[in-house]
Amino acid sequence: AQSVTQPDIHITVSEGASLELRCNYSYGATPYLFWYVQSPGQGLQLLLKYFSGDTLVQGIKGFEAEFKRSQSSFNLRKPSVHWSDAAEYFCAVGARGRSSGDKLTFGTGTRLAVRP
Amino acid sequence: EPEVTQTPSHQVTQMGQEVILRCVPISNHLYFYWYRQILGQKVEFLVSFYNNEISEKSEIFDDQFSVERPDGSNFTLKIRSTKLEDSAMYFCASTQLAGNGEQFFGPGTRLTVL
């Protein structure tokens, strides 16, 4: 069964500082990988996704993530955080190869706070 | 840009009552999902639906839950007899292709069971 671990429950960074949110997954093959962001009281917005190809993927709002197969990781990064980035971030994994569409398995999330 | 919509945004109900949560997936999508998020916890998969039948369901999705696509646009989640522990945010999602993997989420319905 697939699983996702986000080891950091809560992270605080200063505005303008760089950010890295960690995500490790467990899956028997190369998975689909996603990062979603959720602002308070809002739904889930897709930041970026990895399906295949280049292991460094670019997303919206200046975010990027790197798939590292050897480490089973898909860490999210941003070079300079803005106050509006304060939100909860979820890493998710989807299985490949199924014919009927697949569930996503989410991590427990990392809540990001931004200091002015 | 097409989006998934959900109604109502907030539903309050008494324990034991039936509720129906409604979703309108993106029009050319074929695969539909319900997830839930209990306050402060992670998003959990409930059920997937394709070709008018359930593809997969989690252990959360017991006999009290059912899903339906009553017409060409709506996708509903029914909880027959709500419990306090059903209080959560319920998200609908849809995707176009098998194996594509990218699911588009609606804004959610917050269900409060009193």
Taking the C-alpha atoms of residue B18 and residue B82, their distance in angstroms, rounded to an integer, is: 6
3-state helix, strand, coil in chain B (%, to 5): 5, 50, 45
C-alpha dist (Å) from residue A71 to A1, A56, A105, B16, B85: 18, 14, 19, 47, 37
Does B99 reach chain A within 8 Å, measured CB to CB? Answer: yes
Q: How far is B29 from chain A (nearest CA, A)?
A: 11
Instruction: Give the per-residue pLDDT at A1.
Output: 75
pLDDT in tens, chain A (116 residues): 788 999 999 999 999 999 999 999 998 777 889 999 998 877 889 999 998 888 999 999 999 999 999 999 999 999 999 999 999 999 999 876 554 458 899 999 999 999 99
Mean pLDDT within B61-67 = 96
Q: Do B102 and A96 touch (CB under 8 A)?
A: no
Instruction: Give the per-residue pLDDT at A92.
Output: 94
Q: How far is A42 from chain B (nearest CA, A)?
A: 6
Does B59 reach chain A within 8 Å, measured CB to CB? Answer: no
Instruction: Give the per-residue pLDDT at A74.
Output: 96
Mean pLDDT within B69-87 = 94
Q: Do B41 and A108 touch (CB under 8 A)?
A: yes
Collapsing DSSP to helix, strand or coil, A68 comes out as strand
Q: Do B101 and A106 touch (CB under 8 A)?
A: no
Q: What pLDDT band is residue B18 in, cutting at 50, 70 and 90?
A: very high
